[in-house]
Structure 1
Amino acid sequence: MHRSPGADKQIFGTFQVNVFGDTVDDPWARGYLTRRQNKRIERIFPLHDFRDEVFGNPQGDGWSWSRSAELLKRHGFTAVKFDTSKFVPADANQATSCDFDDVEVLEDIYFPQVKQALVKLTGAKEIFITNSIVRRGETGASIDGCTKTTGDRSNFQHVQDTAVTNGENKTEEANYKALHDNKPTHLKSSDNARPSRVPHMDYTPLGARCAIRSWRPDIYHAAVKSGVIPTEDAICASAQVDPQTHDSDAVINSEYNYGGKLGPRYAAYSVWRPLHTVTRDPLAMAPRCTFNGNQELTFAPRYLKVLAAPSMKGDFLRELEALFITEENAMKAANENANTDRATPGANGEVEQLPSSSLASSDPQWYYLAEQKPNEVIVLKFFDSAALVDDGQHSEEASSVPHASPDIGKASYGSARESIEVRCIAFW
């Protein structure tokens, strides 16, 4: 992907990278959606605006579904345009996170729009919404016109209050159950979900295999009907491995799309919409292949406990990947930063100089939509079975894309970022 032309001054984002350590962690002992707490170090990378790449020009005159679909195929992320006129209040640019706390509005208006968009974009036959999350940024503790609630959720039997204290999520989970088999869960704005600074990918191939088997009966039955589970089970049976363990990774990568013939396709997506123009904490994505030349950064597995539907066999662990750096490299980077004169970002967030460790030619390439509008919706891949190949081989179909919301420093302005994310699993 090329940079947008005319960008002489560069915006930079500050991300947080996990540092490998000896922390003992039991994901079953953590709350739902509560991630392991690791020591972290800040890393700074340039952010490239991909507006012209996806929309053709700043006015968006060159946008088409096929243009967005090609970008999604090549890089694992894209953007599309939504009709925001159906939402309350009528002026969509003034919508707040509270406007999307009404589950009836989501189910009657927004979720159908998400499904229709994914069908147009990907050609999938069935779309299942697994969960949705309303987030607001660090300056969003007080929102005009937003009535604070205790954080009750649709499809949850008990209120799970999540407080953010010193940057750490603390969760109460008594009697925490899903009430319905086939309904998505929704995390409301009152639960204080914040933008994540740590680059991560929400699924691994193993995480996807476990999700379609363990989350909800409608998803499981679609995975059987479409041939996904029978194909995976047959491959694993011949190799005498369990599809829900890492023992099956190599054989499924090798056999699922054998000889270039795609196996039954399934994928997981995130559909991310801002509620007003984004002026801080943008969502940024980096094609996974741009990490290949970096020797200090690596992705490592982490696990989240996931709330399963009542009729399933109980909660399960979904594997994801997050960005890590070794303790040695973290100390080296910290020393380089301390010994290098860092320029202070100007009023528009541009800087003339950065630590040498932050501008290596092998660094990942991060993309975002500058001043993303409420009708400009980012779609990114969590997983795609069409991208499964043997280790060392290249797939023309991008799979999971690393993403995070960096701090853009003095380039930030305006009110707290507010957004709604809808997560989906698709079958062809």
Structure 2
Amino acid sequence: MARADNEIAIVSPLTARSASFNYYASGIPLAEDDDFFMRAALAGKCDRLRPFTVPVYDIRQSREEFNINVQGFQVLKHSSSLLPPCQPEGTVNFHDADIVKSIYWGEITTLVKKSFKARGATVVSTTVRDVDSRDQTTYDPKNPRNDPRASFTPFFFVHADYSATGARAHLRALVPERFFNEIGMTPYTSLEERETFLSLRAQVLAAEDTAITQAGVNAADWDGSNYEGPRWAMFSIWRPLSTVRRNPLGLMDARDLSAHETLPRIYRNRPGFEPAYKSANILPYGPDSEIHRWYWLPEQKVDEVYAIKLFDSEALKPGGPAAFSAPHSAFELDGTGDLPPRQSVDVRVILIW
């Protein structure tokens, strides 16, 4: 995939700083009802996390040509009509679901289709991070993203959002008859856009079913290598709501994802999806012997957007893209503990080519 027209050019010499990242460290398999994920996510502390100090390289000064197909992430240049210079900083409430769905979601689907040449795309959820800590009794910890008004803290543990089986579960659990209505996007999308996405999704599922049958395995054991349907992926489109001076997001080169634990999870009562379905996250182990390359964008601005790969069907095929899913985590910057919380918005998108 060629570099997008709006991708930030990276050409300068390489520099790095040291930072601590929390990796999953327990050898105990995780169960569906394990509360590890939310305990680690909300507190950044857990008996199964182990800190590792690693170099984090400055994206602005790297010689790398960062690409979603290679490292698993890109930096895109994109201005939103809800943010500076179009609006004064802080004037738009990103917890307002009507504003986000009527304006921002459309901006993001347009951005990803143009940047990555996808035929269909839809937003699945939005997460706003703008607090230091939160009361865990004020929302459902099993389904925190169901409440569009929820504020989150940065997540201080290394994770990649979906295993292959987990990503497929999300696509399959989407209920076409009510998805766009229940997520609130019917008024803000055209009939053609909705029909295109749902038609492409049906083609993906039919091709997966055929490939699984041909492989002679259960769906949970299928490795995806013989899939011949439309390419599809899940991305996170991550943007600061103000210049990031505290708790930036670090991105690990997806090619360095090796030893890891799979965390099964059950999602319940998500708008537009089946009432309950199983998914799974990836928790990389720390770099005891291998090298993990980490990157960040110092003082990331509101028009500097991370596109982060969460899943890619092509990466499972022989000769496909190197990057399957890019691990990521917030990390602390020395001397910034008294600054206001980082403000950012993360939109998860399904793309189909």
What TM-score range do you get, normalising by the shorter chain? 0.7 to 0.9
Quote the Cα distance in structure 1 between the aligned partners of 2:82 and 2:231. Answer: 33
Which residues of 2 match residues 133-144 of structure 1 at below 5 A?
133-138=127-132
Structure 1 residues 403 and 123, CA, compared in 2 at 3 Å: closer, same or farther? same
The residue that corresponds to 1:209 in the other structure is: 168
Quote the Cα distance in structure 2 between the aligned partners of 1:419 and 1:5. Answer: 27
Check conservation: 2:70, 2:254, Cα contact below 8 A. no
The CA deviation at 1:177 is 9.5
Matched, 1:193 2:188: no
Matched, 1:163 2:135: yes
The residue that corresponds to 1:159 in the other structure is: none
Structure 1 residues 268 and 23, CA, compared in 2 at 3 Å: closer, same or farther? closer
Which residues of 2 match residues 12-411 of structure 1 at below 5 A?
12-22=18-28, 25-27=31-33, 34=38, 38-52=47-61, 71-87=67-83, 91-92=87-88, 94-95=89-90, 99-138=93-132, 163-164=135-136, 173=140, 185=146, 187-188=148-149, 191-217=150-176, 218=179, 222=198, 227-243=203-219, 245=220, 247-249=221-223, 252-253=224-225, 255-256=226-227, 263-291=229-257, 298-309=259-270, 313-325=274-286, 362-389=290-317, 395-410=320-335
The CA deviation at 1:119 is 0.5
Quote the Cα distance in structure 1 between the aligned partners of 2:215 and 2:207. Answer: 13
The CA deviation at 1:131 is 0.6
1:358-377 deviation line (CA, Å, top 9, x unaligned) = xx7x4211011111001111
Q: Which has the larger radius of gyration?
A: 1
Structure 1 residues 78 and 177, CA, compared in 2 at 3 Å: closer, same or farther? closer
1:159-203 deviation line (CA, Å, top 9, x unaligned) = xxx624xxxxx57549x999xxxxx95543xx3411112111111
Aligned pair count reads 323
Amino acid at match of 1:110: Y
Check conservation: 2:32, 2:265, Cα contact below 8 A. no
Structure 2: 5+ residue runs without aligned partners?
1-8, 41-45, 181-194
SS at 2:278's partner residue? strand
The CA deviation at 1:396 is 3.2
The residue that corresponds to 1:154 in the other structure is: none
Q: Percent identity?
A: 24
Structure 1: 5+ residue runs without aligned partners?
57-66, 142-161, 165-169, 179-183, 258-262, 293-297, 330-356
The CA deviation at 1:117 is 0.5
1:84-132 deviation line (CA, Å, top 9, x unaligned) = 344489654x327x71011111012111110111001111111111110
SS at 2:211's partner residue? helix
Check conservation: 1:128, 1:426, Cα contact below 8 A. yes
Check conservation: 1:268, 1:426, Cα contact below 8 A. yes
Quote the Cα distance in structure 1 between the aligned partners of 2:273 and 2:104. Answer: 27
Quote the Cα distance in structure 2 between the aligned partners of 1:23 and 1:397. Answer: 27
Structure 1 residues 111 and 52, CA, compared in 2 at 3 Å: closer, same or farther? farther
Quote the Cα distance in structure 2 between the aligned partners of 1:286 and 1:173. Answer: 29
TM-score of the two chains, using structure 1 as the length reference = 0.66
Check conservation: 2:75, 2:305, Cα contact below 8 A. yes
The CA deviation at 1:225 is 5.0
The residue that corresponds to 1:63 in the other structure is: none
Structure 1 residues 213 and 77, CA, compared in 2 at 3 Å: closer, same or farther? same
Quote the Cα distance in structure 1 between the aligned partners of 2:76 and 2:107. Answer: 12
The CA deviation at 1:386 is 1.4
Structure 1 residues 266 and 24, CA, compared in 2 at 3 Å: closer, same or farther? closer
TM-score of the two chains, using structure 2 as the length reference = 0.78
Amino acid at match of 1:116: T
